Amino acid sequence: MNQQKNTIFVEEASILAHESFSGGQHIMRLDAPKCAAKAEPGSFIHIRCEELLAMRRPISIMRANSGEGWVDILFKELGQGTKLLAQRQVGDLLSLMGPIGNPFALSSEHKRPLLIGGGVGIPPMVYLAESIYAGEMDFQPLVLMGSEIPFPFETVKSKLAVPGIDQACFATMPLLEEWGIPARLASNAKFEGCFDGFITDLARCYLRSLSASELQEVELFSCGPHPMLSAVSALAKEFDLPCQLSLEEYMACAVGGCAGCVVKVKTSEGEAMKRVCVDGPVFRAEELSL
pLDDT at 52 over 90: no
Residues 193 and 222 in one domain: yes
Residues 131 and 38 in one domain: no
Q: How far apart are CA 104 and CA 113, in angstroms?
A: 11
Residues 6+ positions from 157 with CB-CB distance below 8 Å: 170, 171, 172, 193
pLDDT confidence tier of residue 6, bands split at 50, 70 and 90: low
Share of the chain above pLDDT 90, in %: 81
Mean pLDDT of 76-91: 95
Residues 226 and 144 in one domain: yes
254 within some domain: no
Quote the pLDDT of residue 1. 43
pLDDT confidence tier of residue 290, bands split at 50, 70 and 90: confident
Quote the pLDDT of residue 77. 95
φ, ψ for residue 272 (rounded to 5)? -145, 160
pLDDT confidence tier of residue 272, bands split at 50, 70 and 90: confident
Quote the pLDDT of residue 3. 54
For 178, the 3-state DSSP assignment is helix
Instruction: Read off the CATH number of the domain in which 21 is found.
Output: 2.40.30.10
Residues 241 and 135 in one domain: yes
Distance of CA 238 to the CA centre of its chain: 23
Range of the domain at 52: 5-100
Instruction: Read off the CATH number of the domain in which 228 is found.
Output: 3.40.50.80
Residues 84 and 52 in one domain: yes
Quote the pLDDT of residue 264. 85
Residues 117 and 242 in one domain: yes
Mean pLDDT of 132-151: 94
Of 75, 100, 125, which residue sits at a domain end? 100
Q: Which of 97-106, 122-131, 244-253 has the lowest mean pLDDT?
A: 244-253
Residues 6+ positions from 87 with CB-CB distance below 8 Å: none
Residues 241 and 131 in one domain: yes
Q: How far apart are CA 278 and CA 7, in angstroms?
A: 11
More confident of the two residues 35 and 253: 35
The domain total for the chain is 2
CB 144 within 8 A of CB 115: yes
pLDDT confidence tier of residue 130, bands split at 50, 70 and 90: very high
Of the candidates 227, 208, 231, 228, the one whose C-alpha atom is nearest the C-alpha of residue 218 is 208
Mean pLDDT of 164-180: 96
pLDDT at 24 over 90: yes
252 within some domain: no
Q: Which of 17-21, 64-68, 282-286 has the lowest mean pLDDT?
A: 282-286
Residues 213 and 121 in one domain: yes
Span 183-237, pLDDT tens digits: 999 999 999 999 999 999 999 999 999 999 999 999 999 999 999 999 999 999 9
Of 246, 265, 283, which residue sits at a domain end? 246
In total, the chain counts a number of residues equal to 290
Quote the pLDDT of residue 118. 95
